[in-house]
Amino acid sequence: MNGSEQADRAAPRSAAGLPLLRLYDAVLLDLDGVVRVGSRPVPHAVPVLRGLRDAGRRTAYVTNNANRPPADVAADLRRWGLAVAEEEVVTSAEAAARLAADRCRHLAPVLVIGSQALRTAVAAHGLRPVAFERDGPAAVVQGFAPTVSWQELAEAGHAVARGVPWIVTNTDLTAPTPRGTVPGNGALVAVVQAATGAEPIVAGKPSPPLLREAARRAGAHRPLMVGDSLDTDVQGAHRAGYDSLLVLTGRTRPADLFAAPPHLRPTHLGRDLRALCAPPLVTDRRAEGWWCQGWYARVEDGVLLLEGSGDTCAGLRAACAAAWSAAPSLPDPFRALAMLDA
């Protein structure tokens, strides 16, 4: 794919004018930074999600968090007035359990390191959770829980060293808490990896299994992944072969987008979930630059230039197209960022 093609991976021109959600048969939604921030909903998220339900659009809520069961997550969302069933919440624990079930016989013992939610997911897939290597596990499934101990990691290390499949829910190195950032499951995985030299099978984003499990649950053939992160949500969609919508309500900032390599570039861009209800932002190549809804961006002498007015998200879309078409060199984005902040 050349620079021009990569710069605009948006919807086909024949679909111009249709709301973005009409171009897909299901919407897969990351939770943190997209639907909620801490214990509060992201602005505009609740009315948009209610609208998706009223329109009969299939949804799945996707999270790398393997510590909480889907029923608890769904109950949290229902407190905001969202009609969310337990089956619509798909966690990395469930994706990891399916991977284990695909590799083990029915009722095979599986060493589970992590939360009760992970043990429940493994049992629900017809396997028998065990706690010790001496139980002869056919696989190891590892996820995060704040109670995971050195002894549990040692049991995992013994089993993994024996050569059984080692499946981990996710490899996020950190996890957010009310007191700040703490070591995440990726840090615990690294302990076992350092002791054994083994490479785990990863269920959660950006690996494809979690998103494919969510699409299967939603009965989707052409889902749209909505996230706030380039390295997990967008890259995960790319690896699974799905289109993505990046919303600017979480981790990603404009400068991150300008520098994104091809596998981290979203198909669509939106300020928040309201982008699902509007036509996608589409860029046009004009002269030496890119045009999007009243904004024009180009790279000149190594500087990313942007001019125009109106929706600054359209300006960002044009600026991304110009920056990406200039790759692999990254133009200086200072002047473009100043226009977007004006």
Write down the pLDDT at residue 10: 44
The arithmetic mean of pLDDT across residues 246-273, rounded, is 95
Burial (CB count <10 Å: 0-12, 13-18, 19+), residue 151: exposed
Q: Are 292 and 280 in contact (CB under 8 A)?
A: no
Write down the pLDDT at residue 3: 41
**pTM for the complete prediction?**
0.91
89-91/58-63 β-pairing = parallel
Tell me the two tokens of residue 211. 């998103």
The per-residue DSSP string of 293-323 comes to: TTEEEEEETTEEEEEE-S-HHHHHHHHHHHH
Give yes or no for residue 176 having a pLDDT over 90.
no
Q: What is the pLDDT of residues 184-193, one digit of tens each?
A: 999 999 999 9
Give yes or no for residue 144 having a pLDDT over 50.
yes
HEC string for 243-292: EEEEECCCCCCHHHHHCCCHHHCCCEEECCHHHHHCCCCCCEEECCEEEE
Q: What is the pLDDT of residues 56-91, one digit of tens each?
A: 999 999 999 999 999 999 999 999 999 999 999 999
DSSP run (H or E) holding 162: none
Give yes or no for residue 6 having a pLDDT over 60.
no
pLDDT interval class at 17 (50, 70, 90): confident
Tell me the two tokens of residue 16. 């111009």
Write down the pLDDT at residue 16: 63
The arithmetic mean of pLDDT across residues 172-183, rounded, is 82
Return the CATH class of domain 92-202. alpha beta
Tell me the two tokens of residue 180. 């700040």
pLDDT interval class at 229 (50, 70, 90): very high
pLDDT, averaged across the chain: 93
pLDDT interval class at 15 (50, 70, 90): low
The residue type at 153: L
**Please, how many CA atoms are within 13 Å of residue 89, restricted to the half-sphere of its CB?**
25
The single residue listed with the structure tokens 């001019």 is 307
Tell me the two tokens of residue 26. 């299901």
Q: What is the pLDDT of residues 101-128, one digit of tens each?
A: 999 999 999 999 999 999 999 999 999 9
6 vs 215, more confident: 215
| E-assigned strand segments in the chain | 26-30, 36-37, 40-41, 58-63, 89-91, 109-113, 128-130, 139-142, 166-168, 174-177, 180-183, 201-202, 223-227, 243-247, 268-270, 284-286, 289-292, 295-300, 303-308
The single residue listed with the structure tokens 């190549």 is 285
pLDDT interval class at 2 (50, 70, 90): very low
Q: What is the number of residues in the chain? A: 342
13 vs 207, more confident: 207
Q: Please choose, from the candidates 20, 1, 3, 2, the residue with its C-alpha nearest in 3D space to the C-alpha of residue 324.
A: 3
Q: What is the pLDDT of residues 266-301, one digit of tens each?
A: 999 999 999 999 999 999 998 889 999 999 999 999
Identify how many contiguous H helices and E strands the chain contains and give both numbers. Answer: 12, 19
Integer Cα distance of 253 and 241 in angstroms = 24
**19-64+208-278 and 92-202: identical CATH topology:** yes
59-63, 149-153, 174-178, 244-248: lowest mean pLDDT where?
174-178
Q: Enumerate the active-site residues.
A: 30, 32
The arithmetic mean of pLDDT across residues 183-209, rounded, is 97
Using DSSP, state whether 337 is helix, strand or coil.
helix
Integer Cα distance of 94 and 70 in angstroms = 9
- Which CATH number, 1.10.238.10, 3.40.50.1000, 1.10.150.130, 3.40.640.10, labels domain 19-64+208-278? 3.40.50.1000
Give yes or no for residue 312 having a pLDDT over 80.
yes
Domain ranges of the chain: 19-64+208-278, 92-202, 282-342
Range 120-150 burial, b when 16+ CB lie within 10 A, else e: bbbeebebbbbeebeeebbbbbbbbbeebee
